[in-house]
Chain A
Amino acid sequence: MSRIAINGVSMSSLRRSQDVRRLGAWVLGALILAVMTGPSGTTTSPTAGFTGSLLHPRVLGYLAFGLVMWALSTARVRSRDRVHSATRGVQQLREKLLGDNRVRHGTYLVLLVLAILVPTQLNSFWQEVLVDQIGVFVLLAVGLNVVVGYAGLLDLGYIAFYAIGAYSAAYWTGALPVHPVFHLNPFYVIPLAILAAVVAGVILGVPTLRLRGDYLAIVTLGFGEIISIVATNLSSVTGGAQGIIGIPHFSVHLSSFHYQWGLSNLPYYYLLLGFVVIVLVAFRSLENSRVGRALAAIREDEVAAEASGVGVLKYKVMAFAIGASTSGFAGLLFASKISFVAPGDFTVQLSILILVLVTFGGMGSLPGAVLGAAVLQWAPEYLRNHPILGFQQQDLYIYLGALLVVMMIFRPSGIWPSRRRRRELALAEEGVGTADAMSGSSDPAAGPG
């Protein structure tokens, strides 16, 4: 009897202490948000950033926001089980709809029609964002998704392949100081740029993919830096830090038919949309093929995959090269669109940005990668000049970082998780398997017997 009472007391006090901790977290979060959105400090009054935001009446608004969020989250935790059972029907309906091919294909068709029609109604600023910020980055995110999401490899030098694609475009179209034997239209450069990126990916991948996940991240990080530094310093070949101008636009010349994609955005948007759709269809097939399943097997348990006849190194190199080729392709498209390449476009920050897009969207999920890239690339453009939520460009990465931290705590599988990935994470929580952020287990099979 007394024992039950003790348990009851400890249970409720435990719950209370968790509530208190959650309250503290929300209040602290609200205060940090107040500072982040407040005024900046200056050299004459370096603390203005804090005094201006914490001692200003607006801090009350943030505190109120924190308290409301605390109340909501507490209510959610209290009624978790009830919510689960109440939403089970909705969940099942969703699973059923997602599982139905007609519904899925119908949705894709509607989305495609929207993607074709909506941009015509946008002004030129948003059309440009759609191509330069969203379109190119959707392609990049979808490519990195193969490396990070399907194969579980952490590639921090992903942007290097983008640079290789961009410089291939510059080289083969004759824009670089060094000239090829003949100059090509960007359309014909596509296979060459992809080939260059694949070759670079294989050369980098074969020795390094034997290593475990953490080492791979470091090697790729270094590779990204090498490419960027070479592009900056090898001026006689790459044009150096100022970059290269005059990369021709895409054009079609068929006997009497001539068309050139110029500086206007809409034609480029449709070109990009076409390529993105092709890549999406191809990667969807890849995911549901022998190769996709082999990659899933490697991600889950390398030792078991090898014992089942799956050549781990081969598939890792394959995934790495497929990602590299997509990145190179995006580089070619972008270089030709803005007809300019400069080493400053290929920073580590950009590699990490793409990783954030993929993680935010949902690793291993194609719709997730598309959605993550679209949302995260659109939101800053939309919010930058917003009267209340406006922010300064140099602060962008603070918010992205904060967003990523919040995502990893509350929804590590991303906004649109892949079914496989969600299961892996759920299992990891139960202690089955090892779905850490990247890479599978690689301990030797069992102990000595």
Chain B
Amino acid sequence: MVADAIVSVEDVHLRFGGVVSLAGVSLTQERGEILSVIGPNGAGKTSLFNCLTGVYHPQMGRIIFRPTPEHEVSLIGRKPHRVNRIGIARTFQTSRLFNALTAFENVKIGVESRQRTGPIGAMLHLPRTMREEKESDTRTVELLDFVGLRRRGDEIASGLPYGDQRRLEIARALGTEPKLLLLDEPAAGTNPSEKLALEQLIRRVNRELGVSVLLIEHDMRLVMSVADRVTVLNFGQVIASGTPGEVQRNPAVVEAYLGRVETEESGGEG
């Protein structure tokens, strides 16, 4: 197999004063795969996301992103909106929608970030503005349809049920045409049926849109069913990596989640 990594993280260190958040994390995600990052609370998962998206700047290490196989860029020191522009979109641990705007507007803002209309074009209704406006409307409807919120476009984002809010956030992220989508605990706070819909949505994002997905998740059932590979973090270090099955049986993982266990049959469930 020819290695075609969409993102490689190499020996990344991140400290806040004396607190070490990431202590030499290295991981690679292949193009087109769903990689899940798991680990106990405080293991450094969201810190890793924030390093990937330009929110935090690690003191050491390299993060290389390849939007296409031939093209590689370093992510360190890049501002969040520039990271987004080169093809990495994200959602947040607690959803951060534009609460007072409609669902439609939320997605449209994501779609429009790829366009070029400036204030003068907008004020004068230049032809390009009108054309882009039409294009973004079409794309927004498509995306709302894709996540199953087509009928709720006119509703205020904060008024949507929690599961819908999470899917709306994914639609907004997809609007920016990412090659890689980072999902930070998308299932947190959702009910079992919403979880099921989410699981299908993640698969469809991956298969139908060809977007690689990096997933932080606590819900082990979701991780095990959706992820191609799993990487486990603990205390800012990678302690295991492999297929869901391999990781589940890894003694270090079991220990990280449950403490030292004597019996053999306990699973990796957290």
Q: Are A309 and B46 within 8 A (Cβ)?
A: no
Contacts of B138 in A (CB 8 A): none
A82 within 8 A of B: no
Most chain B beta-carbon neighbours within 10 Å: one of A301, A306, A307, A446? A307
A300-B100 contact given A285-B122, A291-B119, A427-B158, CB 8 Å threshold:
yes
State the Cβ distance, A37 to closest chain B Cβ, in Å: 40
Contacts of A291 in B (CB 8 A): 117-119, 122
Query: Majority SS of interface residues in chain A?
Result: helix
Q: How far is the CA of A436 from the CA of B236 in the complex (A)?
A: 36
Q: How far is the CA of A427 from the CA of B97 in the complex (A)?
A: 13
A297-B132 contact given A291-B119, A305-B109, A306-B80, CB 8 Å threshold:
no
A84 within 8 A of B: no
A391 within 8 A of B: no
With beta carbons under 8 angstroms apart, the residue of A286, A296, A303, A432 that contacts B123 is A286
In the complex, per-residue mask of A274-298: 1 if CB is within 8 Å of any chain B CB, else 0 = 0000000011011001111110110
Within 434-449 of A, Cβ neighbours of B (below 8 Å) are at 435, 444-449
Q: Are A307 and B100 within 8 A (Cβ)?
A: no
B212 within 8 A of A: no
Q: Are A448 and B109 within 8 A (Cβ)?
A: no
A433-B100 contact given A291-B117, A423-B156, A448-B16, CB 8 Å threshold:
yes
The range of chain B's interface size is 35 or more
- Identity of the chain A residue whose Cβ is nearest the Cβ of B53 in the assembled complex: A307
Stretch at the interface among A110-118, A123-131, A310-318: A310-318
Q: Are B96 and A301 within 8 A (Cβ)?
A: yes
Q: Are A310 and B81 within 8 A (Cβ)?
A: yes
With beta carbons under 8 angstroms apart, the residue of B42, B125, B173 that contacts A285 is B125
Q: Are A286 and B109 within 8 A (Cβ)?
A: no
Most chain A beta-carbon neighbours within 10 Å: one of B55, B113, B119? B119
Stretch at the interface among B83-91, B194-202, B244-252: B83-91
Q: Are A289 and B129 within 8 A (Cβ)?
A: yes
A446-B184 contact given A291-B117, A307-B53, A307-B92, CB 8 Å threshold:
yes
Within 66-111 of B, Cβ neighbours of A (below 8 Å) are at 79-82, 84-85, 89-90, 92-94, 96-101, 105, 108-110
Within 380-424 of A, Cβ neighbours of B (below 8 Å) are at 420-421, 423-424
Q: Are B122 and A309 within 8 A (Cβ)?
A: no
Q: Are B172 and A308 within 8 A (Cβ)?
A: yes
Q: How far is the CA of A423 from the CA of B90 in the complex (A)?
A: 26
Contacts of B45 in A (CB 8 A): 449
Contacts of A447 in B (CB 8 A): 46
Q: Are B50 and A309 within 8 A (Cβ)?
A: no
Q: How far is the CA of A435 from the CA of B110 in the complex (A)?
A: 21
State the Cβ distance, A176 to closest chain B Cβ, in Å: 30
A226 within 8 A of B: no
Contacts of B164 in A (CB 8 A): none
A363 within 8 A of B: no
Q: Are B81 and A322 within 8 A (Cβ)?
A: no
Most chain A beta-carbon neighbours within 10 Å: one of B53, B85, B113? B113
B33 within 8 A of A: no
Q: Are B46 and A294 within 8 A (Cβ)?
A: no
With beta carbons under 8 angstroms apart, the residue of B41, B55, B114 that contacts A309 is B114
B190 within 8 A of A: no
Q: How far is the CA of A291 from the CA of B116 in the complex (A)?
A: 10
A304 within 8 A of B: yes
State the Cβ distance, B148 to closest chain A Cβ, in Å: 20
State the Cβ distance, B233 to closest chain A Cβ, in Å: 9
A306-B84 contact given A300-B99, A449-B43, CB 8 Å threshold:
yes
B36 within 8 A of A: no
State the Cβ distance, A225 to closest chain B Cβ, in Å: 29
Q: Are B84 and A309 within 8 A (Cβ)?
A: yes
Contacts of B55 in A (CB 8 A): 303, 444-445
CB-based closest 3 A-B pairs? A449-B46, A309-B113, A289-B122
A-B contacts, 22 of them at CB < 8 A, read A282-B124, A283-B123, A289-B122, A296-B98, A296-B100, A296-B101, A297-B98, A301-B99, A303-B80, A306-B81, A307-B80, A307-B81, A307-B92, A308-B172, A310-B81, A311-B82, A421-B100, A433-B158, A446-B92, A446-B94, A446-B184, A449-B49
List 16 other contacts, CB 8 Å, given A308-B173, A309-B89, A445-B55: A282-B124, A286-B123, A290-B117, A292-B122, A296-B105, A297-B98, A301-B96, A304-B96, A308-B81, A310-B81, A311-B79, A423-B156, A427-B158, A444-B50, A444-B56, A445-B96
